[in-house]
């Protein structure tokens, strides 16, 4: 829920400031990547890998 909310918030800011959008997008990708590395269970790793795949498509 937090990830989806943050992404919507960034989408709103995209119209006014593209530089802010780029920086925030990079931060979220970094957070997702590090967080998925920290989680060692198979269930959570596959869940966050799906999130990363969704972000790469967008």
What is the Cα gyration radius of the chain? 12
pLDDT of residue 31: 76
Residues 6+ apart with CB under 8 A from 32: 3, 48, 51, 52, 55
Least confident of 12-16, 45-49, 50-54: 12-16
pLDDT, tens only, 7-25: 555 555 555 556 666 677 7
> Considering the chain, what is the average pLDDT of its residues?
66
How confident is the model over 29-42, as pLDDT tens digits? 777 777 766 665 65
Q: Where are the domains of the chain?
A: 21-58
Residue 1, pLDDT score: 44
CA distance 58 to 47: 17
């Amino acid at each position: 829920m937090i990830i989806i909310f943050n992404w919507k918030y960034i989408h709103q800011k995209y119209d006014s400031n593209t530089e802010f959008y780029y920086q925030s997008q990079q931060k979220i990708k970094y957070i997702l990547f590090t967080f998925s590395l920290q989680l060692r269970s198979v269930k959570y790793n596959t869940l966050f890998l799906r999130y990363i795949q969704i972000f790469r498509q967008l």
